[in-house]
Structure 1
């Protein structure tokens, strides 16, 4: 298995960051296998969604509706509503596994691999790519 960690700047607000290009670079030149994408953070996740047509903002809007950033959360350190950030990985898993065929990620036409980060307290995230040849 080959693995690599990248750093993604997410800024100080909730964001959906497309990391498909970095993932594609990681598996380029490989044969068939599996790409595993993992975010080693308690307050971020990985989503496979369409980007650039509003879906990324729609995802953040939906997460705000389900997980509002208010004072209802028992986990209370950090910014107001930070407890919801710790619940996020139950809704947007911190990992995804994708097929790689002849060195290319087998995504659908409009699918992108995205880091989802609602935690504005941490403006920089790590993402681990692992390739398991098959």
Structure 2
């Protein structure tokens, strides 16, 4: 009998620019190994104070639109009290209040139950930290 709870850490290189990284395939690959056709929940979590998880459309400009919206909401200037790192880095520490560091998603028959245009994405605006971890945890029966 497969484990009811299984977890794994992904290492994601985001580089030195702001990024929206689609990790849907990584999530599906993890589920293919551990879910064995079962129903359950996939929790996606980033243990970082400056990035988040979004479920959005990618590839049609929505990922760039998200980054543009974040620039409007969280400008990269000197208004932030948190001042270490690159100029405007304090905004990166506010990001998880807008793009949360987690998402819990339904798994049906071992696959993510996403809408047609939905993807699971890591949102990283912190150019000072080029390497991220994402914790994938499956809870199923």
Aligning the two structures, in what range does the TM-score lie when normalised by the shorter sequence? Answer: over 0.9
Q: SS of 2:72's equivalent?
A: helix
**For 2:30, what is the secondary structure of its paired residue?**
helix
> Looking at CA atoms only, which structure, 1 or 2, has the larger radius of gyration?
2
Distance in 1, matches of 2:43 and 2:30, equals 11
Aligned to 1:68: 75
Cα separation, 1, equivalents of 2:66 and 2:14: 16
Moved over 6 A (4+): none
1:16 match: 20
**1:60-111 CA distances to partner (integer Å, 9 max, x unpaired)?**
0000000001000000000000000000000000000000000000000000
- Where structure 2 has 5 or more consecutive residues not aligned to the other structure, the ranges are none
For 1:86, the equivalent position in structure 2 comes to: 93
SS of residue in 1 equivalent to 2:120: strand
Alignment of 1:49-128 (within 5 A): 49-128=56-135
Q: TM-score, normalised by structure 1?
A: 0.99
Give the total of aligned pairs: 134
RMSD, matched Cα: 0.6
CA distance in 2, matches of 1:124, 1:43: 12
> In structure 2, which of residues 1, 6, 10 is the aligned counterpart of residue 2 of structure 1?
6
Per the alignment, in what secondary structure is the counterpart of residue 90 of structure 2?
helix
